[in-house]
Amino acid sequence: MAGEINIPCGRCDYCRRRMGNHCPERKVLGILGKDGAFAEYLTLPFKNLHPLPDSISDEEAVFIEPLASAYEILEQVRVDEDMRVCVLGDGRLGLLVAQVMALTGCSLLVVGRHEEKLSILKARGIPTRTSTEGLNRELDLVIDCTGSADGITTALELVRPAGTLVVKTTVAGKSAVDLNRVVVDEIAVVGSRCGPFQPAMLALEENRVDVKPLVSKVFPIEEGVEAMRYASEKGVLKVLLRMG
């Protein structure tokens, strides 16, 4: 089973409009009002659960929720082979978003900071670079997955007038954004968060997205403290805990 992390109240106006992910009373697994998965057992409402085919391993299933977040972009923005798209960021989410965007046939470029992470995309034939130098506001769609307060500013420097900026980044601090640029250039800014599980599961089942290279190391639950230490090291992408 794979479980959706948002647990809406099921009673409010948002829930009645099938917008449970925005329910003001929702709980979020491991984030808000609901203990997370660093335990041998946890509970979720039955409606949050999705049966998995045998072809998807537990290690791959861990990525269904963030992969669904990547697919949410396609629910919000039309992306096709005529579009010039740039993904900013080479963390876990950036690497997943890039693979999903590549499936659309668009003209794709990924800009990150770490050659070892970008090599995962290069192995799949996805163009990458470590600098935005020479990119002169010519992109139809820019997706900010940097996890940095400066990511939106960089994205606005790259997207063309009347283009679209999708913001996946959330940061604790405040960031200054030039809203004059948004207004004058008529840029569409789209916030994007959780997404649909079904296309994410199908992509894994059909091997259209490869998440295995994103797993840096697997620890038994008994070595959880060591796993946390290892996860904080530079260059580590995803650390998993194996139960039992």
Is residue 85 assigned to a domain? Answer: yes
Q: In what side-by-side order are the strands of the sheet with 159-167? A: 128-129, 107-111, 84-88, 139-144, 159-167, 188-191
pLDDT beyond 80 at 66 = yes
Q: Residue 52 region, left (φ>0) first, then alpha (ψ -120 to 50), else beta?
A: beta
Residue 118's pLDDT band (boundaries 50, 70, 90)? very high
Whether residues 146 and 236 share a domain: the answer is no
Is residue 33 assigned to a domain? Answer: no
Residue 33 per-residue DSSP state = E
Is residue 68 assigned to a domain? Answer: no
Whether residues 128 and 223 share a domain: the answer is no
Q: What is the pLDDT of residues 47-62, one digit of tens each?
A: 999 999 999 999 999 9
Is residue 224 assigned to a domain? Answer: yes
CA dist 145 and 217 (Å) reads 23
pLDDT beyond 90 at 229 = yes
Range of the domain at 221: 216-244
Whether residues 170 and 118 share a domain: the answer is yes
Whether residues 182 and 100 share a domain: the answer is yes
Percentage with pLDDT > 90 across the chain = 86
Q: In the prediction, which pLDDT does 37 show?
A: 85
pLDDT beyond 90 at 30 = yes
Q: In the prediction, which pLDDT does 111 show?
A: 98
The tokens describing 7, both together, are: 């647990």
Nearest to 131 by CA among 161, 157, 105: 157
Q: In the prediction, which pLDDT does 235 show?
A: 87
pLDDT beyond 90 at 38 = no
> Which helix or strand (DSSP H or E) is residue 61 part of?
helix 58-61
Q: What is the pTM of this model?
A: 0.93
| Exposed/middle/buried for residue 117 (C-beta within 10 Å: 0-12, 13-18, 19+) | buried
CB 97 within 8 A of CB 112: no
| Residue 24, CB-side half-sphere exposure with 13 Å CA sphere | 2
Residue 12's pLDDT band (boundaries 50, 70, 90)? very high
Q: How many domains does the chain have?
A: 2
What's the longest Cα–Cα distance across the chain?
Answer: 57
Cross-strand bridge partners of residue 88: 111, 144
| Exposed/middle/buried for residue 108 (C-beta within 10 Å: 0-12, 13-18, 19+) | buried
Is residue 222 assigned to a domain? Answer: yes
Whether residues 98 and 141 share a domain: the answer is yes
Whether residues 164 and 244 share a domain: the answer is no
Nearest to 37 by CA among 212, 227, 242, 236: 242
Query: What CATH number corresponds to the domain at position 119?
Result: 3.40.50.720
Is residue 231 assigned to a domain? Answer: yes
The tokens describing 122, both together, are: 């290069």
Q: What is the pLDDT of residues 129-186, one digit of tens each?
A: 999 999 989 999 999 999 888 899 999 999 999 999 999 988 766 777 888 999 999 9
Mean pLDDT for all residues in the chain: 94
Beta-carbon count within 10 A of 37 CB: 15
Whether residues 149 and 221 share a domain: the answer is no
Least confident of 35-44, 89-98, 156-165, 173-182: 173-182
Is residue 228 assigned to a domain? Answer: yes
Q: Which residue has the tokens 């948004």?
A: 182
Whether residues 84 and 125 share a domain: the answer is yes
